[in-house]
Chain A
């Protein structure tokens, strides 16, 4: 069985006017893949990613993660899955403002009950990997967008998750930094074998991944294998 298996997933938002956003999604993602989900704004990409990340639930269909059916989990179980299996990277970084970089990176381990000292050592190690050691004790407000996103990546990696889910990870970054972040993700996939799913509406970003899944109006369109990786210099995506 694939690491991620979606079968006929449907999701309707019911705030006022019912809005059928996902209309029968079928999808399989294997361990170690580096894929992007690409589509226009409002096509349901984030909705899909949130379901994959067990941040949101779906109405009908089945979702198996690592062979386990993810359905009607209680919040405690869901939190545990998120903590151990999944690392999140968000467009707006989602760092906690009153915590320093290293404290932010430590936080997932805090919820695993890892002792303080060990936690701190590991967090420093991951920050170092991101080239951010000198910034460890700075607050997010003192860092650039690229630095913040690298802190967020360190935080996503520190629990050694099997999957990284990134929702428009370059959406708030300039072109140069965007390239750097994508290079980083590519490297993580290649060297550590982490399964990475990136949601984007930018062709240039999608082109960095090995497989591009097109989504349109809540339905999966064509799935492209992408081995050529045309040279991308950020500005080319426009």
Chain B
């Protein structure tokens, strides 16, 4: 092995310009590949991260407005879900398929007051399960619990932004304080996180409290539940249709009216999202591989020229005892060395480029209306990709060397000696 490296070393040193050119081609290819994959990963991390904030593994159904006349009703009829829909969903028809059914009320816009300070709020009746369902992070205190529900307690959860407005010096100290909302005062029990840029107005109070104070009717805003059974996208879509049809029947909505009720299906969204990200990833790899292939073709070409130039030398080697396999080995090892060595350089540079991307573009946010998101999150390639790329490089080098090596090994010694 060491002998071979020595052989390669002297022949690479001998042909400095050629080595440099080949090396540059390879480094550039790998650099592009790594940067591309890194940026792609960053894009995807950001995409997945941003989406995960909003998409949970559950289905939420809300009433909307019909778009077609049906069963004697005119179009544009407002649909309200009610507590009967709730018990239907919890009932035996869906036993074993639907779990964890929760409901929320419609909201009311109110001004919250603490001493001389005020802030806007959107009061909603929520259940303890909404904490997880909406992926809220508590900054301080706690969320609504079953005790609040059972006792119809006048308690309220605020967003961090609201807490800061009401008590700028020490937002957490607001816990335990009584905040007035209209004529009624609520005790603050917790604060949920809002990141620096985002502004959330929602201030949840117990579902039962809301119903008792603001809306004694049997109307509800939404029904949320998890589903058991369906796995694939098709199965989830079929389930959504089956459940939607049942609710549409209950409210005399045309079966093909998509607007009567609105179904937010977290399962299908998640599946479609991972499909989309898979496609993005595949596209990145294809682009990357194409650049790599062009690198291979480049190396192969240069190796072909080299082999032609060195035919006489191979003739000498053969005359003094080099077997075809020795010549084959020499060329392939040379090709692999060039690709691996310069490929590594390209890979390191690519990783540096990813770091730079992270420090620049990665730190910039983009405003998407209600909050700011990062374009790239952690744009880098993992160790696994680096290892894959190394294996790929060696393979590429071998591939690039094969045709030239085969040509060199095949030429008869006397013909090689005649070549100049």
Q: Which residues of A contact B (CB under 8 A)?
A: 50, 53, 55-56, 75-76, 78-80, 82-84, 88, 90, 94-99, 103, 107-108, 110-112, 116, 155, 159
Q: Which of B305-327 contact A (CB under 8 A)?
A: 312-313, 315-326
CB distance from A210 to the nearest CB of B (A): 26
A88 touches B13 (CB 8 A): no
| B contact residues around A80 at 8 Å (CB) | 321, 323
Query: Which of B2, B3, B11, B323 lies in contact with A79, CB distance below 8 A?
Result: B323
> How many A-B contacts at CB < 8 Å in the complex?
70
Q: Are A50 and B414 in contact (CB under 8 A)?
A: yes
At the interface, is chain B mostly helix, strand, loop or mixed? helix
Which residue from A75, A94, A103, A159 sits with its C-beta under 8 Å from B417? A94
- Chain B residues contacting A82 (CB-CB under 8 Å) are 318-321, 413
User: Which one, A53, A97, A110, A112, contacts B319 given CB within 8 A?
Assistant: A53
For chain B, which range describes its interface: under 10, 10 to 19, 20 to 34, or 35 or more residues? Answer: 20 to 34
7 other A-B residue contacts (CB within 8 Å) besides A88-B320, A96-B317, A99-B10: A75-B318, A78-B413, A80-B321, A82-B321, A98-B14, A107-B320, A116-B2
A155:B2 contact, CB within 8 angstroms: no
Contacts of A97 in B (CB 8 A): 14, 313
Most A CB within 10 A of own CB, among B11, B14, B414: B414
Asked if B417 contacts A76 (CB within 8 A), the reply is no
- What are 25 residue pairs bridging A and B, where the CB atoms are less than 8 Å apart in the complex? A55-B319, A55-B413, A75-B324, A75-B413, A78-B413, A79-B324, A80-B321, A80-B323, A82-B318, A82-B321, A82-B413, A83-B320, A88-B319, A94-B315, A94-B319, A96-B316, A97-B313, A98-B11, A98-B14, A107-B320, A108-B320, A110-B3, A111-B317, A111-B320, A155-B320
Partner of B3, one of A99, A108, A116: A116
CB <8 Å contact, B417 and A98: no
- A107 to B2, alpha carbons, bound, how many Å? 14
Nearest CB of chain B from residue A184's CB, rounded to whole Å: 19
A108 touches B325 (CB 8 A): no
B249 on the A face (CB < 8 A): no
Tell me, yes or no, whether B412 is within 8 Å of chain A by CB: yes
Of A79, A88, A95, A112, which is in contact with the most chain B CB atoms at under 10 Å from its CB? A79
| Given known contacts A98-B13, A116-B2, A75 and B323 CB-to-CB distance under 8 angstroms | yes
Nearest A residue to B13, CB-CB: A98
A87: nearest chain-B partner, CB-CB: B320
CB-defined contacts of A116 to chain B, threshold 8 Å: 2-3
Chain B residues closer than 8 Å to A98, beta-carbon distance:
10-11, 13-14
B318: chain A residues at CB < 8 Å are 75, 79, 82
Rounded to whole angstroms, the CA-CA distance of A88 and B318 in the bound complex is 11
A108's partner among B10, B315, B321 (CB-CB below 8 A) is B321
Residues of B with C-beta under 8 A to A103: 10
Asked if A79 and B321 sit within 8 Å, CB to CB, the answer is: yes
Tell whether, in the assembled complex, residue B320 and residue A76 are in contact, meaning their CB atoms are under 8 Å apart: no
Given contacts A96-B313, A107-B320, contact A55 B414 (CB under 8 A): yes
With beta carbons under 8 angstroms apart, the residue of B13, B312, B323, B414 that contacts A76 is B323
A75 to B7, CA, bound (A): 22
Residue-wise, chain B 12-41 has the 8 Å CB interface mask toward A (1 for contact) of: 011000000000000000000000000000
A107 surroundings in chain B (CB, below 8 A): 317, 320
A87, chain B: closest CB distance, angstroms: 8
Q: Are A55 and B417 in contact (CB under 8 A)?
A: yes
Min CB distance B257 to A, Å, is 80
List the A side residues contacting B323 at CB < 8 Å: 75-76, 79-80, 111
